[in-house]
Amino acid sequence: MANSSMNNENGKIQIDDDVIAQYAGMSALECFGIVGMATVSMKDGLVKLLKGDSVSKGVAVTVDEKKRLSINIHIIVAYGVSIATVADNLMQTVRYKVEEFTGMKVDMINVFVEGVRVID
């Protein structure tokens, strides 16, 4: 289990990467035009829409030696929206929220659009 750690005057703080992934996924779901998080099956290449507590499976977080975060987010967007606008909004929102939540710098956010769905 990977984790991010930092020290302050009171001691050491460790944040599991899965916690950051869950928070980033939940922040992404709040963005306009996002239908949900996605995961791709390596076996058959099918894209699956993730719901509820499993949104972190659509997010991968890595921490470099300088304690900066890189986040990969796999999403499904709503039909008829501008993918570039939705992705830009998602990157800005997730960067801001994760930096505020963790106190760590987000170096890079990569967005992978895995599908398009019509919202009912």
DSSP-derived letter for residue 119 is: -
CATH number at residue 13: 3.30.70.1350
Could you list the residue range(s) of the whole structural domain that residue 93 is in?
A: 3-117
pLDDT in tens, 22-76: 999 999 999 999 998 988 766 666 677 777 667 888 999 999 888 899 999 999 9
Q: Which residues contact 98 (CB under 8 A, 6 or more apart)?
A: 20, 23, 24, 27, 69, 71, 104, 106
As a whole number of Å, the end-to-end CA separation of the chain is 38
Hey, what are 24's tokens?
Answer: 């980033």
Give dist(CA 83, CA 115) in Å, integer.
11
State pTM to two decimals.
0.85
* Number of structural domains found in the chain: 1
